[in-house]
Amino acid sequence: MRGFRARDADRDRCVEVIEAAYADGQIGDADRELRTSRALSAETLDELETLTRDLQPPPGPAEPVRAPAPSGPVRPRRPVAVLAALGAAVVVVAAGAVGLAVLSTTDDTGGQPAVEVSGEAVPVPDPAVAGDPAEFEMTAAGVRRFLRAYEQQFGTLDAWDVAFYPDRVGADVPVRGSRPRFEAWTWDGSWERTSEAQAIRPSHTGVVDLGRIGPDRLVANVRTAERTLGVQRGTFSHAVLWRHDEVGPTLNIHVGNTFGEGGYLRTTLAGDRVVARFPYDR
């Protein structure tokens, strides 16, 4: 069966394979840019498979994206009621009887939606409020979630500064007024203000439109930095805004290890071009 629609996770895996092949010397700069661009705009798994078919998989990372093999007719899933989450319940099955009786504790949710099971109204948790919010992860999907949350929280994508970490994002948010001010906020799935309004810092060289950040390319460049900067067992530590005199806003993607060694990759804000490399200096 061919023509399956590609998901963001499929595109991310394809970009990782392309970046690994680039770091391994299998393809050059122009080929890397072309394949990455096509991967990010691919609509089907067949397109992604074509982009990685001739690449040797690196030891360990994800394999090239392939369309799933046919496995017979697909049957629609049926909803499963999780009674434990709805309170204490007793299921009584009478031998030879037809049907199912469900007994539940009294609904004390104050008007929460409910479904009827064998005559009993069982409350259904509201998915908008049930459970804790998803934690931030430094993935393309995670960066996109942050950008949506930022715009919803502040009504803009303008920021004085932003720093991405593996498990959170820090942002210096502009405050309206006659003089330049900012508030510091962090987001790890929920917002927390870490400072009141204060005067901007010397490092704040201008307000930046965070909408110009390319999540897929940013994460792909993180993987490239980990593989190519010569940091032994190096992993992503953070990425911060940096004002470049000629290019404009850029992102410095830092990699480090437990030995205190590190390096960083400087890319455009969109992530489509590497501006400079600063590998670990042995």
Residue 180: pLDDT over 50: yes
Residue 111: pLDDT over 70: no
Q: Please report which confidence band the pLDDT of residue 153 belongs to, taking 50, 70 and 90 as the band edges.
A: very high
Q: Ranked by mean pLDDT, which of 11-25, 45-59, 110-124, 172-186 comes out on top?
A: 172-186
Residue 115: pLDDT over 60: no
How confident is the model at residue 84, as a pLDDT? 40
Distance CA 244, CA 263 (A): 18
How confident is the model at residue 79, as a pLDDT? 43
How confident is the model at residue 133, as a pLDDT? 53
How confident is the model at residue 116, as a pLDDT? 43
Residue 18: pLDDT over 80: yes
pTM of the model as a whole: 0.57
Amino acid found at 144 = R
Place of tokens 């496995």: 71
Residue 31: pLDDT over 90: no
Residue 203: pLDDT over 60: yes
Residue 152: pLDDT over 80: yes
Top pLDDT among 177 and 109 is at 177
Q: Please report which confidence band the pLDDT of residue 2 belongs to, taking 50, 70 and 90 as the band edges.
A: low
How confident is the model at residue 58, as a pLDDT? 63
How confident is the model at residue 66, as a pLDDT? 52
Give 23-29's long-range contacts (Cβ < 8 A, gap of 24+). Answer: 23/58, 23/224, 23/227, 23/228, 24/56, 24/58, 26/55, 26/56, 27/55
How confident is the model at residue 225, as a pLDDT? 94
Element (H, E) at 151: helix 140-154
Distance CA 48, CA 85 (A): 40
Dihedral sign for Cα atoms in the order 11, 127, 86, 101: negative
How confident is the model at residue 277, as a pLDDT? 92
How confident is the model at residue 68, as a pLDDT? 52
Place of tokens 């046919």: 70
Top pLDDT among 102 and 30 is at 30
How confident is the model at residue 156, as a pLDDT? 95
Bridge partners of 146, per DSSP, are none
State the DSSP code for 148: H
* C-alpha distances in Å from residue 100, one per residue of 82, 91, 250: 15, 8, 62
For 59-100, the pLDDT digits (tens) are 654 444 454 554 455 444 444 443 344 344 433 334 443 343
How confident is the model at residue 29, as a pLDDT? 78
Dihedral sign for Cα atoms in the order 121, 122, 127, 128: positive
